[in-house]
Amino acid sequence: MGGRTMEMHRPSKPSKDLQTFKNPSPDRDYEILFDIPEFTCLCPLTGQPDFAHFKIRYTPDTLCVELKSLKMYMWSFRDEGAFHEAVTNRILDDLVKLVKPRKMTVEGDFFVRGGIGTVITATYSKKKR
């Protein structure tokens, strides 16, 4: 009986190596929204895990963020200690440096801890020439 042999794939690993591809419609303003409901990092003071729901919204210019690399990038924070404000701004800085968008907003909605929920919103807009 003929069966299909399962191929072994190397497991994915977290990575800061973000990738891009050319914007297929660079003459048009349009928006891309990434919805990332399972972000984790560590509290730099306690070492306890912090959980957040991130939304990344941007208008591309000539480049777009490749989705799998973004997934691996967001995963790379899992074992890093970072204040909410610092990690949200770092994500924005790294993505702006990578794709140089027309505009971008990164929102980190951190789960309640000690009775307080925190939402950090960092924005970027390209300066007009």
State the catalytic residues: 43, 50
| CB < 8 Å & 24+ apart, contacts of 37-40 | 39/74, 39/77, 39/108, 40/77, 40/78
- The SS3 assignment for 123 reads strand
* DSSP class per residue in 52-63: EEEEEEEE-SSE
Query: What is the Cα–Cα distance from 98 to 60, expressed in whole angstroms?
Result: 11
Residue pair 20/58 in contact by the 8 Å Cβ criterion:
no
DSSP 81: B
Which residue shows structure tokens 């800061």? 16
